[in-house]
Structure 1
Amino acid sequence: MKRIILIILGVLIISCGDDFLDVSPSQSLPPSEAFKDITAVGQTVLGMYSGIQGDEYYSYFMIAMPAVKGDDFQTRQTGKRSQNLYRFNETAESDNGGAGFWDQAYYVLNIANSIIENIDAVQTNSAEEEVLKQQYKGEALAMRALINFDLVRIYGKPYSVDNSVLAAPLITRTQTPEDDPERATVSQMYTQIVQDYEAAVNLLTDEINNGQFNSWTVKALLSRVYLYMENNSDALALAKDVIDNSPYSLVSYENYASSFSQDFNSERIFEIVNTNADNPGSRETIGYVAGPQFSTSGYGAIITTEVFENLISSEPNDVRNTMFAEDDSGNSKGYYKKWPGKPGSSVILNNIPVVRLSEVYLIAAEAAVKSNNSFDANYYLGEVMKRANPTVSVPSSPTLNDVLTERRKELALEGHRFFDLMRNNLTIIREGGRHLVGTPTNITNSDTRTIFPIPQKEIRKSDALVQNPGY
C-alpha cells in the first residue's frame, strides 16, 4: 500500500480534556465529529500541537540534532543516545532519528491539512466564534509552514546553497492510501512556507497566546525563513516589527539563567507546552538525554566541546557562564543547563521554546550585516551582547562572524548551530580534546551526510520517492 505517513485515514487527534495541558494523542474522533462545531475544532487544534511534542520532534530531535552535528556540543562517550547524530552515521534503514521525525512530521501535517480543508464549513453561532474559527485556521496554516520548514531543512540543501534540488514531499491536503507524492524542490517548499505564513498572519490574534501561535509568532518565524532565503530586507523588516511592536521583551541579566526553567517568560514568543500530565517522551527528552547521571539522574549523553567552553569562558562577566555545570566525566563545564527541568520537576520536563525574542534580534543583526547596514547591525547585535555582558564592547560595524558567534553563544543547544553553518557555506570544524576518536571533522555542506536519507521504508512503499545521494 502506498502511504507516505503512518496515520489512519480520516482519524484526527483531539484532546482528552478541556485543558490545553491535557492533550493526549491516544484519543481520536472521525472528521464528522472533529469538525461538528467550533469546540470540537478547538480540541483538534490542541491535538495538532500535541503532535510536535514528542522526542522524535521538538522535545529531542530538532534540538539535539543541530547541536551535536555542529561544533559546540558532542556525544560524551561511545554508545550514548546522540552518537549516530554526532558522527553523521544515519542510514536509510534506521527506524529512529530522521525516520522517526519523518513519521511524526507527516502525521501532524495531515492533521493541519484536515483542519484547513474542513474548517470553512464549520457553522458558528456568534461573532466571537467566527473570530475563533479564523484563529484556528491561521494556527493550522502556521503549523503547516513550520513543519514544512523543518522538513526542507532536514531532507534538502540550504536554500541559499542550492534551492533547485529535491527535499521532501510537499503535502497540502490530507492523504489517502492511494496517494504517492513525489519530493518537491527546496524552492517549491519555501514558496509554500512563505505563502502559508503570510496567509496565517492575518487570521491570528495579536495577543499573547501561550503555547499556541499568534501573529507575532508567525512574523518571527517568517523572518527566520527569509533569513534562510537570503531575503535580508524582508527578514530585517519583520524582525524590527516584532522587536518594536510585539508584547515580548528580553529577560534581564539577573533572570537569564533562571528563565530557562520558567514557562511563558517575557522572551518566549512560541513554546511547546509539556507537563507531568502530558509527558512528551519520558527519558528520551532533551533535558534527560543531556542531564548528567550523577546530578540529575539523566543519561549524560550530550556535553559541551572544549571550544564552546572556552568561547563562553573568555568573557568572565558573560551571564552564560552561569549555565555550566559538571558532567559525568568530571568536566567542570561539560554540562550546559539549557534544559534544567521545571521547578519541582526532574530534567525530563521542559517547555520547548521554538523561537525567542533574542533570536529575532540576531535575525535583524544578521540581515542588517548582509545588507551593509552597520547602524542596525550594531544596535540589534548590541542588545543581545549587552544583555549577556553589560561590560562588553560591541563592534561598531559588525561582521557576519560577529553575529554568528553571538548566535552560537545565545542560541546554544536550541536547535540552530548546524543549520547556521550549512546555510552560510561554513565548515563544521571539530577541535579540542573531548571529541570521540573517529568523529568526522571539517564537514562542509557538500558532504552528502549533511542531508538526511529518505527513510527506506517509505521508498519501498512508493513508486515516486527517490533517495538522497550517498545513501
Structure 2
Amino acid sequence: MKRIHYYILIAALALSACDGKIDDIRPLTKIDKEGELSSLEGIEETTVGAYVMLTTLQRVWLDFGESRGNNVTLQEWAPASKNTDAFFFRNSNGPTSGYSVEMFRSAYQLIVSINVTLEGMRDFEQTGYAGLTQEEKDRFQYARGENLFLRAFTYFNLVRAFGKPYYQGGGSGPSVPLKLSSSLDDVPAPATVAEVYNFIIDELQTAAQLMKAPVTRTNAFATTAAAWALLSRVYLYKGGAVASPDNTANQQVILYTDSVLTQTSGRYALQQGDAYRNMFGDDETGAIGRSKGQDNKEYIFAYDNTTGGSDLGQLFHFDAIYNVGAIFLPSSDLRQQFTAADIRGSFFKLNVNSNYTETTKWLVLNEAWITYGPNGFLRLGEIYLNRAEAAAKLKNYTAARDALTIIHTRAGLPAADIISLPDTDLLTAILKERRLELAFEGHAGYDYFRNGLPMTRIAADNNGSALTIQPDDPKIVFTLPTN
C-alpha cells in the first residue's frame, strides 16, 4: 500500500511547485506561470493542457487493448521486453519492464492536474464568476464539463486495466484509488471496481449536462455526445458476461446510444463507400488527408495528432530508414476472417521494405516511430455495435439485427448474412463484427474478458503453440505498481 501511495504522491508532487499551481508540468500543459486559474482564459488554457497530456497515454492505452487480444502477433519472437510485456501477459509492475507503471503514473498526473483545475474553478466561482458575461459563463461551465469528462475517461482506462471485469463479483474486487483532490495529504486506498464505475458514470452524466452550454467544439474535444458515447461503453462493460447479462446495464447502453444517434442534430454520420475506404486507407504520403480528423463526421472524439504526431506509429508500421517499428503485425487469424467483398479487408498493406503485411489504420504521414493519424477514441461505428450487443443481451433481436446490419452492409457485405441468422447466433455474430470493425483500435482483449469469454491465439500467431487465456485468469488484470 505504501508504494502505491508513492505513485499518487509523485503525480501530486509534479503539480506542487509554486503554491500548488501547475508550473512543474509546463511542457505538457502550456500554461502561463502566473495566475493561470484566476481568469476564464487561464482556466481554458489548463483545460487544453489536460488534452495535451493524453499524448503520453494514448499509446499505452492502445497497446493494452490490442496486445492482449488475438488481432496481433509479433514481428520478432524474443524474450518479453517493455514493448511486448503486455502481449505475453507478464504484467510487470516495475518501471522498466512494462508500461503499467508509466500508465499509472501518467494517468494520475493527468487526474491531479484536472483536480487542480476544478479546485481553481470552484475558487473562481467565488471571486470572478459573477462578473462574467453569459457567453463567458457558458464557456466556464463547458470547460468544467470537459475536465470531468477527461477525468472519467482516464479512470475508465485505469479500471479496465487494473480491475477485474465487472461481472466477476459484481464489481466487488479491488481496483485503483479514487484521487479527487490535489492535496498531498489525500492518498486514498484502492477503491472497488464498482466504486470506480459509479464515479465514472456520475462524472460523465454531469459532464454531458454541462457541455450542453452553447459552445462550439470540433471532435478533437469533449462534447455532450462524447460523454454519451463513453457512457454507452462504460455500461457495456457493466453489461455482464454472455452467459449472464445484466439487463439494467444493457438498457442504459440502449439509452445512451439512442442519445448519440437521435439527439445530436445530424452532426455524426457513418462514412460510406470510398469515404469509408479512405477513413482507414493507406495515407503514408498524406494524399488522402486523413490527419484532418475534424473533417470526419464518424469521429465523435478523436485525439488530434497533427502537431508533433504520436509514437503510436511504431506499434504497427516498420520504417526502413530508421529501422524501427511494427512491434505488432496483424494476426493470420484476424486476416482470414475478412471475405473478399469486405471493405475492411483493404485496410492492410504489404510493406515492401520489410515484407510485412501491416494495418493501414495508423498509416498516416508516418516517419520513424511517428504517425499523424487521429486517434478515434470514440466513433459512430462503435455506437452501433454497442447498441447491437446490448440489444442482443436483452433478447431484443430485431433491434440487435438492425444495428448489426448497418455496420455489416457499410462494409460492403449483404444484409442477407444477418437476416438469415437464427437469434441464438446473433450475439456471436455481433462480437465477430465488432472484432473486424474495431481491429487495432484498442478493444480486442477487453471484449473477450468483459464478456466472460476466453481469448485464443492460434499456433500460427503464437510462435507455434496455441494460447488460451481464460477470462478469470489473474493475468488479465494488471497489478498496481510496487516499485
Instruction: Give the shorter-chain TM-score range.
Output: 0.7 to 0.9
In structure 2, stretches of 5+ residues that fail to align are 240-248, 281-289
Choose which of 228, 231, 236 in structure 1 pairs with 2:254: 236
**Preserved contact between residue 21 and residue 116 of structure 2 (Cα < 8 Å):** no
Identity of aligned residues (%): 24
The aligned residue for residue 66 of structure 2 is 67
The 5 Å alignment of 1:414-453 reads 414-436=441-463, 441-453=467-479
Cα offsets for 1:206-261 (capped at 9, x unmatched)? 75533111100000000111111110011011101211232100011211232242
1:91 positional shift: 1.6
Q: Distance in 1 between matches of 2:66 and 2:353?
A: 19
The aligned residue for residue 466 of structure 1 is none
Q: Distance in 1 between matches of 2:335 and 2:354?
A: 14
Choose which of 176, 195, 208 in structure 2 pairs with 1:201: 208
In structure 1, stretches of 5+ residues that fail to align are 17-23, 458-471
The aligned residue for residue 298 of structure 2 is 267
**Preserved contact between residue 271 and residue 351 of structure 1 (Cα < 8 Å):** yes
Q: Distance in 2 between matches of 1:211 and 1:411?
A: 19
1:447 positional shift: 1.5
Q: Does 2:56 match 1:38? A: no
Q: Distance in 1 between matches of 2:383 and 2:440?
A: 17
Report the aligned-residue RMSD. Answer: 2.5
The aligned residue for residue 468 of structure 1 is none
Choose which of 391, 403, 428 in structure 2 pairs with 1:380: 403
Q: Distance in 2 between matches of 1:363 and 1:106?
A: 28
Q: Distance in 2 between matches of 1:330 and 1:40?
A: 48
Q: Distance in 2 between matches of 1:454 and 1:316?
A: 44
1:346 positional shift: 8.3
Q: Does 2:345 match 1:318? A: no
Q: Which amino acid aligns with 1:273?
A: D
Choose which of 132, 135, 138 in structure 1 pairs with 2:142: 135
Provide the secondary structure at the position in 2 that maps to 1:145: helix
1:453 positional shift: 1.5
Q: Which amino acid aligns with 1:450?
A: I
Going from structure 1 to structure 2, the CA distance change for 1:61 and 1:228 (only over 3 Å counts) comes to: same
The aligned residue for residue 245 of structure 1 is 263
Cα offsets for 1:88-144 (capped at 9, x unmatched)? 122222444111000110000011112222213322421111000000100111111
Q: Distance in 2 between matches of 1:356 and 1:295?
A: 33
Q: Does 2:279 match 1:256? A: no
Going from structure 1 to structure 2, the CA distance change for 1:93 and 1:81 (only over 3 Å counts) comes to: closer
Going from structure 1 to structure 2, the CA distance change for 1:180 and 1:245 (only over 3 Å counts) comes to: closer
**Preserved contact between residue 81 and residue 289 of structure 1 (Cα < 8 Å):** no
Going from structure 1 to structure 2, the CA distance change for 1:115 and 1:141 (only over 3 Å counts) comes to: same
The aligned residue for residue 78 of structure 1 is 77
Provide the secondary structure at the position in 2 that maps to 1:34: coil
Length, aligned pairs only: 436
1:392 positional shift: 4.8
Q: Distance in 1 between matches of 2:91 and 2:470?
A: 17
Going from structure 1 to structure 2, the CA distance change for 1:152 and 1:139 (only over 3 Å counts) comes to: same
Q: Which amino acid aligns with 2:350?
A: E
Provide the secondary structure at the position in 2 that maps to 1:167: strand
TM-score (norm 2): 0.84
Q: Distance in 1 between matches of 2:369 and 2:141?
A: 38
The 5 Å alignment of 1:3-402 reads 3=6, 4=8, 5-6=10-11, 7-9=14-16, 10-12=20-22, 24-25=27-28, 27-28=30-31, 33-54=35-56, 57-58=57-58, 60-79=59-78, 82-95=83-96, 96-122=98-124, 123-124=128-129, 125-162=132-169, 163-176=171-184, 178-205=185-212, 207-230=216-239, 231-246=249-264, 247-260=267-280, 261=290, 262-264=292-294, 265-276=296-307, 278-280=308-310, 285-294=311-320, 298-312=324-338, 315-327=339-351, 334-342=357-365, 347-396=370-419, 397=423, 399-402=426-429
Provide the secondary structure at the position in 2 that maps to 1:271: strand
1:173 positional shift: 1.5
**Preserved contact between residue 15 and residue 25 of structure 1 (Cα < 8 Å):** yes
**Preserved contact between residue 77 and residue 436 of structure 1 (Cα < 8 Å):** no
Cα offsets for 1:414-450 (capped at 9, x unmatched)? 0101111010011011104242257x71101222111
The aligned residue for residue 460 of structure 1 is none
Q: Distance in 1 between matches of 2:76 and 2:455?
A: 20
Q: Which amino acid aligns with 2:254?
A: L
Q: Distance in 1 between matches of 2:217 and 2:395?
A: 34
**Preserved contact between residue 14 and residue 34 of structure 1 (Cα < 8 Å):** no
**Preserved contact between residue 68 and residue 82 of structure 1 (Cα < 8 Å):** no
The aligned residue for residue 462 of structure 1 is none
Deviates more, 1:223-232 or 1:77-86: 77-86
Cα offsets for 1:274-296 (capped at 9, x unmatched)? 224x444xxxx222231023499
1:329 positional shift: 9.6
Q: Which amino acid aligns with 2:358?
A: Y
Comparing both structures, which one devotes a greater share of its residues to helix?
2
Q: Distance in 1 between matches of 2:104 and 2:162?
A: 10
Deviates more, 1:362-371 or 1:391-400: 391-400
Q: Distance in 2 between matches of 1:304 and 1:344?
A: 20
Q: Distance in 2 between matches of 1:118 and 1:147?
A: 20
1:330 positional shift: 6.5
Q: Distance in 2 between matches of 1:175 and 1:320?
A: 48
Provide the secondary structure at the position in 1 that maps to 2:325: coil
**Preserved contact between residue 14 and residue 46 of structure 1 (Cα < 8 Å):** no
Provide the secondary structure at the position in 2 that maps to 1:402: helix
Going from structure 1 to structure 2, the CA distance change for 1:73 and 1:343 (only over 3 Å counts) comes to: closer
Going from structure 1 to structure 2, the CA distance change for 1:181 and 1:328 (only over 3 Å counts) comes to: farther
**Preserved contact between residue 107 and residue 154 of structure 2 (Cα < 8 Å):** yes
TM-score (norm 1): 0.86
1:272 positional shift: 1.1
**Preserved contact between residue 67 and residue 413 of structure 1 (Cα < 8 Å):** yes
Going from structure 1 to structure 2, the CA distance change for 1:252 and 1:297 (only over 3 Å counts) comes to: farther
Q: Distance in 2 between matches of 1:409 and 1:15?
A: 39
Provide the secondary structure at the position in 2 that maps to 1:311: coil
Q: Which amino acid aligns with 1:341?
A: V
Q: Distance in 2 between matches of 1:395 and 1:286?
A: 34
Q: Which amino acid aligns with 2:434?
A: R
**Preserved contact between residue 223 and residue 234 of structure 1 (Cα < 8 Å):** yes
